[in-house]
């Protein structure tokens, strides 16, 4: 049996099988994002996946009751991406502010 392999090209006309989310920035591999959230090591995320992760995590929670789980998730995600927690927060803040600016310009 011969298996022919071809390079994969993103085509927005082809529907995903439920494990990939199509976004304006490109496809988001939901398995990769969940692996990061669970703290499993991963080499890298695409821009679309990192933006999805930033929207999932949101801004860092304030010191209030029940903030522990959010900080644990951020710490695991940072370790999974092999970066420091402040570096992950910087990347998240950049993407969230970029998206807000873009949205505000579209409305205006």
Mind listing the pLDDT tens digit for each residue in 65-81? 555 556 778 889 999 99
Q: For residue 32, what are the domain limits? A: 20-60+68-107
Q: Which residues pair with 17 in a beta bridge?
A: none
The answer to whether residue 15 is domain-embedded is: no
Residue 9 has a pLDDT of: 54
Average the pLDDT over 99-108 and give the result: 58
What's the pLDDT tens digit per position in 9-53? Answer: 555 565 556 688 888 888 888 988 999 998 998 888 899 999 999
pLDDT on residue 50:
92
**76 — alpha (psi -120 to 50), left (phi > 0) or beta?**
alpha
In a domain, 14, yes or no: no
1, part of any domain: no
Q: Is 96 part of a structural domain of the chain?
A: yes
φ/ψ of 15, rounded to 5, equals -70, 150
Does residue 5 register a pLDDT over 60?
A: no
Q: In this structure, how many other beta carbons lie within 10 angstroms of the beta carbon of residue 50?
A: 21
**Count of domains for the chain:** 1
Alpha carbon distance 34, 39 (integer Å) = 9
| Residue at 7 is within a domain | no
Model pLDDT, residue 13 = 62
> What gap in Å lies between CA 96 and CA 49, rounded to an integer?
13
Compute the distance between CA of residue 77 and CA of residue 86 in angstroms, rounded to an integer: 12
């Amino acid at each position: 049996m011969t298996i022919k392999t071809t390079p994969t090209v993103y085509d927005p006309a082809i529907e995903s099988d439920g494990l990939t989310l199509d976004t304006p920035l490109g496809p988001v591999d939901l398995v990769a994002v969940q692996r990061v959230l669970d703290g499993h090591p991963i080499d890298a995320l695409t821009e679309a996946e990192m933006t999805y992760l930033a929207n999932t995590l949101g801004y860092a929670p304030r010191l209030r009751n029940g903030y522990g789980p959010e900080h644990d998730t951020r710490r695991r995600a940072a370790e999974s991406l092999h970066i420091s927690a402040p570096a992950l927060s910087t990347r998240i803040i950049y993407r969230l502010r970029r998206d807000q600016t873009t949205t505000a310009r579209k409305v205006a």
